[in-house]
Amino acid sequence: MDKLVAFGNTDLQIVPLIFGGNVFGWTLDEAQSFGILDGFIDLGFNAIDTANNYSHWVPGNQGGESETIIGNWIKNKGNRDDVVLMTKVGGRFGYDSKPNTKGSYIKEQVEFSLKRLQTDYIDLYQTHYDDSSTTVEETLRAYDDLIKEGKVRFIGASNIGTDRLIESLETSSKYGLNQYVSIQPEYNLYDRENYEIAYEATAKQFGLAVIPYYSLASGFLSGKYLNDSDFSKSARGEGIQKKYWNERGKRIVTVLNEVASSYRTSSSSVALAWLLAQPTITAPIASATNESHLHSFVSALQLRLGEEALAKLDTASQY
């Protein structure tokens, strides 16, 4: 695959679909993870996103399992320079813990991530969750030190309010510190409103790369949920049904299925192609648990939705 895009205002070049590593150590064990990563890279993709606390929510896990698996895979393949590696810091390691972006904590955690990932640098190091008790200047100075030390190439932010994001960008400019180059918001055909109202203009103004998570709305947009009975077939079905299965959700999946049929492709491919057609989106993040899912990633990059199809999807998902 030879379609590379610039990652915001950086020299990073990525194939515009990123693998979401939250499944490693959760729904995939190490051997299965290696197989999926091999398939992903063999298809020409090159970017992987994870976090230092994945997958702490699995009974028996402590957090860091995803990074460990990725690090073992990279060592096994010897392909570190061919992979754009993205991870995060600041998120919870348990439901009773809090986000933490203090400078000392970031510098401590980056060493753990580097060791687990078996690398001496991270391409994109991201604030996973904002810690409002810590000044943005303290957080940014820690990142700036890590970039100067060569341990991190670029920094980004994920779950951070618009005000704090803008304050962070302006603080970097004021003090000559390295600036966030990306934002990782929740954004998909169903969950549109927050990004489009709160973040889209800022991303455009500052030239941020936008790499949305939950690109398929936890699988709701994959085409596997078309009627009430489908939710009972999935371990996560009950939660997905509760969140998405309303009049608007039903309308979205119906139109998504119609468009997919007209293009002779999958609903997943159409949902990802819709994201890629949005002017501020750099690359969606999506996960896979078997190789058939990976082919929908390729189809999404090859798919060019026409104006009529895009209009139908926009209308169905109006909020």
| Catalytic site residue from 54, 180, 190, 195 | 54
Least confident among 18-27, 92-101, 139-148: 92-101
Residue with tokens 């995060």: 88
Nearest CA to 192 out of 271, 302, 259, 261 is that of 271
Cβ atoms of residues 212 and 183 within 8 Å: no
Percentage of the chain exceeding pLDDT 70: 99
Q: Has 175 been annotated as catalytic?
A: no
Local confidence band at 20 (pLDDT 50, 70, 90 cut-offs): very high
What is the dihedral sign for C-alpha 67, 73, 76, 78?
A: negative
Nearest CA to 99 out of 133, 136, 64 is that of 133
> To 10 degrees, what angle do helices 247-262 and 307-316 make?
160
Is residue 292 exposed (0-12), middle (13-18) or buried (19+ Cβ within 10 Å)? exposed
Residues 163, 110: Cα–Cα separation, whole Å: 26
pLDDT tens digits, one per residue of 104-136: 999 999 999 999 999 999 999 999 999 999 999
Cβ-based neighbours of 187, under 8 Å, separated by 6 or more: 194, 195, 210, 212, 213, 214, 215, 275, 281
6 vs 234 pLDDT, higher one: 6
Please list, residue by residue across 264-280, b when 16 or more beta carbons sit within 10 angstroms of its beta carbon and e when fewer do.
ebbbbbbbbbbbbbbeb
The pLDDT value given to residue 84: 98
Q: Is the pTM of this model over 0.85?
A: yes
Asked whether the predicted pLDDT for residue 36 surpasses 90, the reply is yes
The pLDDT value given to residue 94: 85
Which DSSP symbol is given to 263? T
CA 244 to chain centroid: 20
Residues 153, 202: Cα–Cα separation, whole Å: 22
Considering the chain, what is the average pLDDT of its residues?
96
Coil, strand, or helix at residue 257? helix
Token code pair at residue 10: 């950086």
285 vs 2 pLDDT, higher one: 285
Domains and CATH numbers, the chain: 5-184 (3.20.20.100)
